[in-house]
Amino acid sequence: MSSQQTRGVTLTVPAHYFAPVVMLALMWIMRVISTVAPSTVHALGVRAWSPSSLWAIATSPFVHVSWFHLFSNSVPFLILGLIVAFDGAKRFATVTVLSALAGGLGVFFVNRPGTVTVGASGLVFGYFGYLVLRGLFARGMLRKVIYIAVAVVVTGLYGVSMVIGLIPRGTSMSWQGHLFGLIGGCLAAWAIGSAGKTGTQQNARPTKQTESQQAGDPELDRLLRDLDID
């Protein structure tokens, strides 16, 4: 009589992959709250040239003026956010913070005094800018090719709408938030790429090889060398 043992395969998803989902959930919760209490839209938005509202740079991306406003941001935010999150927790946080900060300061200084700006579109444009430019600063040929391929796909999906969103049209749409959010994402791509090059010069690669060798996985060691993950 023989017995067989079946090994179960457990797939674990890194926690930071859920960050865009959690952020989007907060946006929907805030939309419900602002439907019941409309004053929260102005209270949590960035008011141009009002120093007392600078703190709202951290809250304004989670607030939307209407359900349509939220719907239009939800899908691109989730798609682009998940792609950025795939690059790692620190990078996702860096891109998010720089995009929100640049977009918030942009609407603060460039908008007409007293104008209140809310919405996640600045983050969407920031993620887009990061993904488009990341390939220019990537280390390793395979990694660079992967990033460029992602950039091509992202540009094909959202390139036209992104360009349109940067054009001042005299509507309530904040082209300032779009433009400066995009700049923030591009700066994040440059900053992360520069940090990666510095890490290489400080013998980061031998550390990675040591970790994989300690794990006793030559296949992982080869993959790390090919992808040049930092």
Whether residue 143 lies inside any domain: the answer is yes
Q: How many domains does the chain have?
A: 1
Residue 34 lies in a domain: yes
Q: Give me the pLDDT at residue 137, please.
A: 84
Report phi then psi at 116, rounded to 5.
Answer: -100, 130
159 within a domain of the structure (yes/no): yes
Tokens of 193: 């790429």
Is-contact 98 39, C-beta < 8 A?
Answer: no
Give the pLDDT confidence of 140-150 residue by residue, as tens digits.
Answer: 788 888 899 99
Place of tokens 């006793």: 216
Tokens of 160: 């036209």
Whether 5 is covered by a domain: the verdict is: no
Residue 230 predicted with pLDDT over 50: no
Q: Does 185 fall in a domain?
A: yes
Closest CA to 86 of 23, 26, 13: 13
pLDDT at residue 91 greater than cutoff 50: yes
CATH number at residue 132: 1.20.1540.10
Residue 94, in any domain of the structure: yes
Domain of 125, in residue numbers: 15-192
- Domain for residue 9, yes or no? no
Neighbouring residues of 175: CB distance < 8 A, sequence distance ≥ 6: 165, 166, 167, 168, 169
Amino acid at 142: L
Taking Cα atoms as reference points, which of 74, 101, 110, 85 lies closest to residue 187? 101
- Residue 177, pLDDT score: 96
How much is the pLDDT for 214? 47
Please indicate, yes or no, if residue 127 is contained in any of the structural domains.
yes
Whole-model pTM over 0.85: no
